[in-house]
Structure formats: C-alpha cells, structure tokens
Amino acid sequence: MPTIALLSSVADMRHLHQAFQEEFPEARLRMGDDLGALCEIDAAVCWRPPPGLLARMPNLALIQSAAAGIDHLTSDPTLPDVPVFRIIDPAMAFGMASYVCWAVVHRQRAMADYLAHAQAHVWKPRRLEPPQQHGVGIAGLGTLGLACAQALMALGYRVRGWSRTPRSAPAGLQAFHGDAQRDQFLSGCDTLVCLLPLTPETMGILSRDLFERLPRGAHLVNVGRGAHLVEADLLSALDDGLLRAATLDTFVEEPLPPAHPFWHDPRITVTPHIATATSPVVIARQTRLNLERLRQGNAQAAAVDLKRGY
Ligand code: NAP
C-alpha cells in the first residue's frame, strides 16, 4: 500500500483527494501540514512543491508532476534522483486547442472591436481576411502543440510548427526544427503561439530579437510559461509596432499583480493560467500506472528525460 504525498506551495491539493479515493483507493494520502514521517513517503504528486522538501524524503521512489510541464520541479536544485513523470492527456490537449483557436480567431477577426461596437449598438462590418491568408506558427510541436495545429488547420489557417528535432508532421502542416530553421519558421507567423517547455534553452526566448523576425504587426500568444517572455521587450515591441497584440495566459508572477502594466494595456489580453487543466482523475490514474511501471521495472521509457529537460 503506497504512501503518496500531495505537495504544492501554491495550490490546495485537497481537490485531488476524491479522485485518488476513486482511482487509487489503496493509496495512503498525505498532504498539507500533515505529511507524517517523511521516510514513509513512496511517491509525491506535485505542483510547485516547496523547494527542498522532496530531498528530505529518503525513500521517495517516484515524482509525478500534476501538470504537463516539469519546470516547477527542475527549478529545485535539490531535486532527488528518482524517476519524474509528467501528465500526457489528450483531453488536456483539447482544452489547449480550444483556447489557442479562440485566441487566434479573437484577434484575427477583430472580435474585441465587434464586442465594443455591440455595447454601443454600432453596426460596422469589416472585410474578412480569410484564414488561409493568415499564417499561424506553433513553437513547440509536442502533445499540446500538435493538437492546436490540427484544430487550426481544420479552421482553414495556414499552420507551421517548430520543434527541437525533426518530427513527422500531419499533412498540411509545414514543419521546421532546430536553431538553423528558426528564423525561416518565424518569418511566416502572423500569429506566433508559444507552446514550448521551459528549459535553459527556451527561457526568455520571446524577446525583441525574436519579435524582429516575425512579420511586422504579428500577434503573440503565450500559453507556455511566463519566463519564456521578456516582459519589457513585449511592451516596447507593441509600442514600436513590431507586434500588434498579445494574448498571455502565463506569467512570471502568478497571480499577475494588480498594478502590472499588462492589465491596463488594451493591446494585451490577460487570462489567469486557464488555457487548459489536468483532470484530477487523470492525475490519480497516471500516478497509479507509473507506480505500477516502476514496480515492474519498466518505468524508464515513460519517465521524463531530465537531461533533455522536458
Ligand atoms: P511536449 O510534448 O514535451 O512538447 C514540447 C515541444 O517543444 C516538442 O515539440 C519539443 O521538440 C519542443 N521543444 C523543446 N525545446 C525546444 C527548443 N529548444 N527549440 C525548439 N523546440 C523545442 O510538451 P507539451 O505537453 O506539448 O507541453 C508544452 C508546454 O505547454 C508545457 O511544458 C507547459 O509549459 C505548457 N502548458 C501550459 C498550460 C497552460 O494552461 N497554459 C497547460 C499545460 C502545459 P521535440 O519534438 O524535438 O522534442
């Protein structure tokens, strides 16, 4: 009967309790201030766990990220040397695809203007820019990026993607990879969607240097991590017309502080890290499955490659 700690320094992990009871009833759960003896903990399910805590669990055998990303774990220099797993969930990809389609359509079709006109009872149609004339680039062609690319192609957008290594792309998707093809990829992105993992290579990638390589007046959608974006560079790129608009779901500081300039800028749409979410049932199921893999000695293939960083 495994003992599992549910750990977070920012979220109330009690929302996972019922799902674990249903999906993994034999697990003994520990959370909050009531972790008991740390030497009894076999596995930890984490969303931004308190730094240093995992290293104090001498018999920890498995770390399960409660999210698709693992940057909230690898940022802890004391992370113990045990297998780390992340959530891979098609339902989560649908959530992300619907958010990204909304963000692209909202700006490309000037929906904010129409909503403001409707408030004022103004009837003012504009010429429609067909989606085939609008290039959307997805930086990060993984589980989530591919789902977004497919959904956007179904709406008729001209979609391209960028990954670290060559990928077999579905028909109609123009695929680029590596640093050598980055600028060619960026040159066709009227909207750029960031769905990269946060690693030393991608931190601060959404900078002035990158904005200068996009078509002038592009729209930036950041659904990756806040630290992908150099915030000051975004504001100056909007002022200079390099970018026309930004839709941001993730921020270095969350919640975004009330006085932050992004809240007050009509060119920037802010959402509170809601692009998609992991279902508690999936977290409980995947934790159980990964512990099972560990017991059977075949966890390595499913675990995150920490040397790669995502
Ligand atoms: P994934 O399956 O691991 O895919 C990551 C993609 O990024 C891969 O295509 C990878 O290339 C590419 N990549 C990594 N480093 C790169 C680099 N240096 N240059 C170019 N491409 C690079 O990840 P995922 O499950 O799709 O999730 C992506 C990210 O979405 C997560 O890490 C997280 O930050 C974010 N996220 C946000 C929310 C939200 O609600 N806002 C929710 C969930 C996840 P290869 O194909 O060559 O490996």
Our CA dihedral for 45, 50, 51, 57, rounded to 10 degrees, sits at: -60
Residue among 303, 309, 301, 240 nearest 86 (CA): 303
DSSP 34: B
Position 219 scores a pLDDT of 98
DSSP conformation class of 267: T
**Average pLDDT, integer, range 54-67:** 98
**In the chain, where do the E strands start and end?**
3-8, 28-31, 43-47, 62-65, 84-85, 135-139, 158-163, 174-177, 191-194, 218-222, 243-248, 268-270
Mean pLDDT (the chain, rounded): 97
* Predicted local distance difference test score (pLDDT) of residue 185: 98
**Residue 197 CA, ligand 1 centroid: distance in Å:** 4
63-72 pLDDT per residue, tens: 999 999 999 9
Judged by phi (left if over 0) then psi (alpha if -120 to 50, else beta), residue 293 lies in: alpha
Find, among 142, 135, 137, the residue nearest to 161 by Cα.
137
pLDDT-derived band at 172, boundaries 50, 70, 90: very high
Q: Counting atoms of ligand 1 from 1, which one is nearest the CA of 167?
A: 46
Residue 122 CA: distances (Å) to CA of 104, 106, 125, 310: 24, 18, 9, 48
Confidence of residue 76 (pLDDT cuts 50, 70, 90): very high
Q: Catalytic residue among 72, 225, 228, 285, which?
A: 225
Average pLDDT over residues 111-120: 97
Catalytic annotation present for 267: no
pLDDT tens by residue, 227-281: 999 999 999 999 999 999 999 999 999 999 999 999 999 999 999 999 999 999 9
Q: How confident is residue 115, by pLDDT bands cut at 50, 70 and 90?
A: very high
Atom 39 of ligand 1 has which residue's CA nearest to it? 275
225 is catalytic: yes
